[in-house]
Structure 1
Amino acid sequence: MSTVENQLEELQTTIEDEVPNDITITEVRYEGPELVIYTRDPKRFASDGDLVRQLASQLRKRITVRPDPASLSRAEEARDQVLDVIPDEAGVTDLDFHIDTGEVVIEAEKPGMVIGRHGTTLREITQETGWTPEVVRTPPIESSTVKNVRNFLKQERNERRDILERIGRQIHREEMSDDQWVRITTLGCCREVGRASFILSTPETRVLIDCGDKPGSEDEVPYLQVPEALGSGANSLDAVVLTHAHLDHSALIPLLFKYGYDGPIYTTEPTRDLMGLLTLDYLDVAAKEGRAPPYESEMVREAIKHTIPLEYGDVTDIAPDIKLTFHNAGHILGSSVSHFHIGDGLYNVAFSGDIHYDDTRLFNGAVNDFPRVETLVLESTYGGRNDYQTDQEDSERKLKHVIKNTLERDGKVVIPAFAVGRSQEIMLVLEEAMREGELPTVPVHLDGMIWEATAIHTTYPEYLRDDLRERIFHDDSNPFLAEQFNHIDGGEDERQEVADDGPCIVLSTSGMMEGGPIMSWLEHLGSEADSTLVFVGYQAEGTLGSRIQNGRREVPIGGRGGRGSSLTLDMDVETVDGFSGHADRQGLENFVRTMNPRPEKVLCVHGDERSTQDLSSALYHEFNMRTFAPKNLETFRFI
């Protein structure tokens, strides 16, 4: 009998000793990081709200209780019972029964009313029916991405269960080594912005953190081929952790499955959905530009199938010697600071991913409250000594001033924006300004993936700032449903109509003007001297956005890299700082300053050479800690 089988047998015996005698345990199994208990008496478990909590505390594991399929009532009968328990105001839109796991997936407009105070309604559902409820939100704005992901995971439920069981056995395997060390190898985004990727390794485990592309480059990818990474095969990785969905962190995650990886991806639920949206678009853009895509769409589906979503604050075993906890990074929807607790108190490492330290209209600021962190891997996008962003109120005031002046001369405002994060931030500014009369109410056209990304934001309001979350819960005050927002879904014909019409605002991808519908808007409006192009986000070196921002007015429009024709930009070009999803120099310093205790070492990454070195030097002098501005392909040993 294997070590894991012995573990499960011992766990089942312990559980049987701890639960009341009238509760029968039929099976105990690992599914991913969770211990799943199957019982013929789910109603008895549900009647004691503390029983699962006590078991989880005693066993130090995440526990899910499911009914033995033999004990279930018929789905038709249970459907009526479930609906009788849930208040009508919850707005249930779908019930989906899965007899193999004894779960009923309840989709509702107001999930909180299905859950009930401290989970009372969920327990009542189990007490009445025996089925285990799982609750998901009905998106206030219909999202094809969310719908497709949920349907796909439903179709792949049996295979996914097998995957989770295999991963669970890997996580809970016996440790094989007596050595103790921790290493980080840099595979990308060091002294550069983009292609974020790191390997965190111990004698037992190898974890890949992020795997992105480099904006403005077609061929610079992380150094995955080195022995420390995939040189000995993709399945030498035990886990992949994705901090957030932006392509410079996520674009090449599906490539791992092309190379043979078959393990878990840990991220948050909204990041999983956004990764699917952005990587499929990444393939679509490559095809339109005549480039060979690095992987097929099937690999995106494999990535989604292997994703294990975690919530902020959940401490989760991802290997025999590593526990992972996600914390809000304040950058984009679902973005996470990833904290790794290694060994039995041996060492702690945190990867910031991309962070925004202060609150924004969309998100609460990044969390930096960890029990321990010996080493911090910190982004440095705006880490240069002069990289201080404008105060948010001043930024909004300047943006409204630029827009108002353009509209008064009957011009149009074109804002290249990232579909995820900055677009929704700008939408909130515009909605409030028009509602309060600071700007005239004009059409705000959303092109590219912006509307779909906004729909995903409304699906996961629990990841948004507290006051915004409450507004989204009510259709009559949901700012994203304001009537001036128009989704461009008619292609070139609709863009031509907008160009021929009166004053308006256009938000369009891509944010760095590397392809996408923004190029069409330049063709339509670039020659209009009364119109204005406004940059509100970071423009990486080498991108078209950066070149225009730095004064270039001859713009290629016939293809990537200058192939084809060009036009001369006559429209005004403005930059409004302060809307970045990244912390500025002060925010990065404050993130470290307010950590208690502070880390012993900081690796400054994800910034150009000047930014990483400036920030490294400043943190060293201010806090007397060891700091580094590593190059790619360096390895640091910490124990």
Structure 2
Amino acid sequence: MAHSLDIESKIKEILSSVEVSKVEVEGPSICVYVKNPANLSNEEVAELAKTLKKRIVVRSDSAARLSKKDAEKVILSLAPDLVEHVYFEDVGDVYIYLSKAVPERDFKKLAREIFSSTGWRAIIEMGVPSMMKLPSKDIVDVRTIYHSAYDKRAAMMRELGARIHHEPVVKEGPITVSFLGASMEVGRSAILVDTTESKVLLDCGLKPSQYEEEFPLLEQVDLDSLDAVVLSHAHMDHVGCLPYLYKYGYRGPVYMTDPTKYLTYILLTDYVELKEREGQIPPYTKSDIETLMYHIITLDYEEVTDIAPDIKLTLYDAGHEIGSALVHLHIGNGRYNILYTGDFKFGRTNLLNKAVNKFKRVEMLIMESTYGGRDDVQPPRVEAENTLVKAITETIENRGKVLIPAFSTGRAQEILYILNREINRGNLKRVPIYVDGMIVETLNAYLMYPHFLNREVAEEIYGGVNPFTSSGSIEVVERAKRIEDRINQIARITQDERPGVIIAPHGMLNGGPILDYFVHLAPDPANKLIFVSYQAENTLGRRILNGEKDFIVRSISMGETKVSMRMGVVSIPGFSGHSDRRELMKYVETVEPRPRKVVLIHGEPSKIVSLATSIELRYKITTVIPRVGERIRAL
């Protein structure tokens, strides 16, 4: 066990400047309690983590902490007018929620000052300034669920710690990878990595469809023996089935980044509410989502963490949406290393940095292939932006309305950022831009975590500017709870004689608020539908791109309606958060070290076959195309 006398002696030897009172395991961390925290240096903690190759948490002994009342006074004095709420946990942690986002170096400095001054380990989370005037109920809900489940969380972390921190029984057994979805298809991403000692599930999503979602092959997962789930990012085709695991008894952790935690809650609760409003029975309940939320363990990028006796996890920036991650698994003390890209963008966008491509070890690369076809070459971002502005300007001049279906996390925020910027620059006429649905709630994550964005956007937010709404043209459409109110809301926007722009989810027109607007705007040739994202097979968006004109559409406000489409249609692929064909090939070429094997998933069959052929011919790397349900031997 990691808290053996040998480990304790090493800890005491390295932390010679402080008195260590006890050492415990808590989930993936080794928790060290000290009696004089003010004497502890960051260098000592870093050396300890490097020596033990473990995630280290340092807390002060209870006798060395100020009372909660006195500690709160000190915290408020250290950050006047910045602290919004303080929540103490008996284990020695204090959660501090700020009223706005501050640079990473500043909140880390504040955490150190709080620890040395009060003895309480500070966990600091950003907030959204009240002047932004965005709904924040979901943010509050996540925090409330987390803290109200303290006893359950503590019990889980104790059990998890005992499971993780022991020597593997079998060190040389086989390593297999099972593909439970997203193989030769787009959607229901789920990959099971299986060693003799451990089982880890990567993503657990739904397959989008206009008719009925498809689940991954979860019957192949023994929930009782599942050690961990790792979530690459919060899009429904990667996260949509996650609460389903908890509904049927899984009680282990799920690892993700901080922004992904909030986006996950927003997406899943909206999905359940949407199903209920449409008179359908969702596959899980809000209670299952709440259970999921207090089993989440968040990680920073490039933070190495033990998640099983023989597996270390590291998340890297994937550039797909805020908080999206490449998943790196280090198995068996260097025996084998798997890199799973999830969805990724190997190119810089307006908001994000491009995906990381440098690692210590990679034997197997599991890569998405959404735009892997030979003709899937996206135009430069600036060209796509100019096309968007031109299409909107033409529609405005014709007194029409522009309807933009957008994924509520990722694409929607970038489009909103571009439109807001172009209005401020005078390149786009100032017209109402209605932003509906989850786009509004998920925007909070972008304003709370600027250090997950590129430097230019982050600096704007730190400076008190909302780069998504500063033009004054943005009108937030909060979702009406009653159908009658929703009908009036849609009528007010669609029947307004002024031209305007409407951005709403879902990005593939296969459900959500976008359909409310679509049934009203589609018959008018003065209006325009602009696609800025991928349209999967069997979705309404794909049918429109294929040239269909007549549909039966079911929306929340109108029910089942016949639609004869006469509005214009424009597709602009250059905004994709996915890597295009050139970027996928470039990633395989430049990823370091070069993998021995590439496995292609998350793409239509013809695109995957084309990409696989090119990779093998050009780079001479063994390339595998698994089918759904297939299990391959890694080692």
Q: Secondary structure at the match of 1:83?
A: helix
- Is 1:448 matched with 2:437? yes
Report the equivalent of 1:332.
Answer: 321
Report the equivalent of 1:32.
Answer: 27
Report the equivalent of 2:483.
Answer: none
Are the aligned partners of 1:197 and 1:211 in contact in 2 as well (CA < 8 Å)?
yes
Q: How far 1:597 moved relative to its partner?
A: 2.2
- Is 1:104 matched with 2:101? no
- Is 1:472 matched with 2:444? no
- Is 1:533 matched with 2:529? yes
Deviations 1:101-150 (A, max 9, x none): 22222222456579649x44433322322222221111234522222111
Report the equivalent of 2:83.
Answer: 92
Report the equivalent of 2:195.
Answer: 202
- Corresponding letter in the other structure for 1:93: E
Q: Secondary structure at the match of 2:321?
A: coil
Where does the alignment leave 5 or more consecutive residues of structure 1 unmatched? Answer: none
- Tell me the distance in 1 between the aligned counterparts of 2:311 and 2:424: 49
The verdict on how the C-alpha distance between 1:552 and 1:178 changes in structure 2, with shifts beyond 3 A counting, is same
Are the aligned partners of 1:67 and 1:101 in contact in 2 as well (CA < 8 Å)?
no
Report the equivalent of 1:512.
Answer: 508
- Is 1:310 matched with 2:299? yes
Moved more, 8-17 or 194-203: 8-17
Matches within 5 A, 1:58-457: 58-86=51-79, 88=80, 91-98=82-89, 100-109=90-99, 112=102, 116=106, 119-140=108-129, 141=132, 142=134, 143-216=136-209, 218-226=212-220, 230=221, 233-457=222-446
Deviations 1:179-214 (A, max 9, x none): 332211111111100011111111111111111111
Q: How far 1:79 moved relative to its partner?
A: 2.2
Q: Secondary structure at the match of 1:519?
A: helix
- Corresponding letter in the other structure for 2:95: V
Q: Secondary structure at the match of 1:578?
A: helix
- Corresponding letter in the other structure for 1:383: G
Are the aligned partners of 2:101 and 2:448 in contact in 1 as well (CA < 8 Å)?
no
Are the aligned partners of 2:366 and 2:598 in contact in 1 as well (CA < 8 Å)?
yes
Q: Secondary structure at the match of 1:530?
A: coil
- Tell me the distance in 2 between the aligned counterparts of 1:14 and 1:238: 28
Aligned residues: CA RMSD? 2.0
Q: Secondary structure at the match of 2:347?
A: coil
- Tell me the distance in 1 between the aligned counterparts of 2:4 and 2:330: 24
Moved more, 128-137 or 472-481: 472-481
Report the equivalent of 1:57.
Answer: 50
Q: How far 1:472 moved relative to its partner?
A: 1.1
Q: Secondary structure at the match of 2:42?
A: coil
Are the aligned partners of 1:8 and 1:29 in contact in 2 as well (CA < 8 Å)?
no
- Corresponding letter in the other structure for 1:549: L
Q: How far 1:51 moved relative to its partner?
A: 2.3
Report the equivalent of 1:595.
Answer: 591
Q: How far 1:292 moved relative to its partner?
A: 2.2
Q: Secondary structure at the match of 1:299?
A: helix
The verdict on how the C-alpha distance between 1:81 and 1:559 changes in structure 2, with shifts beyond 3 A counting, is closer
Q: Secondary structure at the match of 2:573?
A: coil
- Is 1:546 matched with 2:542? yes
- Corresponding letter in the other structure for 2:625: A
Q: Secondary structure at the match of 2:218?
A: coil
Are the aligned partners of 1:108 and 1:137 in contact in 2 as well (CA < 8 Å)?
yes
- Tell me the distance in 1 between the aligned counterparts of 2:341 and 2:42: 36
- Tell me the distance in 1 between the aligned counterparts of 2:587 and 2:303: 22
Q: Secondary structure at the match of 1:376?
A: strand
- Tell me the distance in 2 between the aligned counterparts of 1:95 and 1:591: 44
Moved more, 70-79 or 157-166: 70-79
- Tell me the distance in 2 between the aligned counterparts of 1:306 and 1:127: 29
Are the aligned partners of 1:412 and 1:531 in contact in 2 as well (CA < 8 Å)?
yes
Q: Secondary structure at the match of 1:311?
A: coil
Are the aligned partners of 2:327 and 2:341 in contact in 1 as well (CA < 8 Å)?
yes
Q: How far 1:637 moved relative to its partner?
A: 1.0
- Tell me the distance in 2 between the aligned counterparts of 1:476 and 1:301: 33
Where does the alignment leave 5 or more consecutive residues of structure 2 unmatched? Answer: 481-485
Are the aligned partners of 1:512 and 1:544 in contact in 2 as well (CA < 8 Å)?
yes
The verdict on how the C-alpha distance between 1:476 and 1:335 changes in structure 2, with shifts beyond 3 A counting, is closer
- Corresponding letter in the other structure for 2:182: C
Matches within 5 A, 1:617-628: 617-628=613-624
The verdict on how the C-alpha distance between 1:246 and 1:26 changes in structure 2, with shifts beyond 3 A counting, is same
- Tell me the distance in 2 between the aligned counterparts of 1:569 and 1:353: 35
The verdict on how the C-alpha distance between 1:544 and 1:583 changes in structure 2, with shifts beyond 3 A counting, is same
Are the aligned partners of 2:101 and 2:450 in contact in 1 as well (CA < 8 Å)?
no
- TM-score, with length taken from structure 2: 0.94
The verdict on how the C-alpha distance between 1:559 and 1:31 changes in structure 2, with shifts beyond 3 A counting, is same
- Corresponding letter in the other structure for 1:91: L
Q: How far 1:412 moved relative to its partner?
A: 0.6
- Tell me the distance in 2 between the aligned counterparts of 1:370 and 1:17: 31
Identity of aligned residues (%): 36
Are the aligned partners of 1:108 and 1:114 in contact in 2 as well (CA < 8 Å)?
no
Are the aligned partners of 1:115 and 1:135 in contact in 2 as well (CA < 8 Å)?
no
- Tell me the distance in 2 between the aligned counterparts of 1:625 and 1:11: 42
Q: Secondary structure at the match of 1:557?
A: strand
The verdict on how the C-alpha distance between 1:521 and 1:583 changes in structure 2, with shifts beyond 3 A counting, is same
Are the aligned partners of 2:227 and 2:308 in contact in 1 as well (CA < 8 Å)?
yes
Q: How far 1:24 moved relative to its partner?
A: 3.2
- Corresponding letter in the other structure for 1:218: E
The verdict on how the C-alpha distance between 1:91 and 1:238 changes in structure 2, with shifts beyond 3 A counting, is same
Q: How far 1:13 moved relative to its partner?
A: 3.2
Q: How far 1:174 moved relative to its partner?
A: 2.7
- Tell me the distance in 1 between the aligned counterparts of 2:68 and 2:361: 48
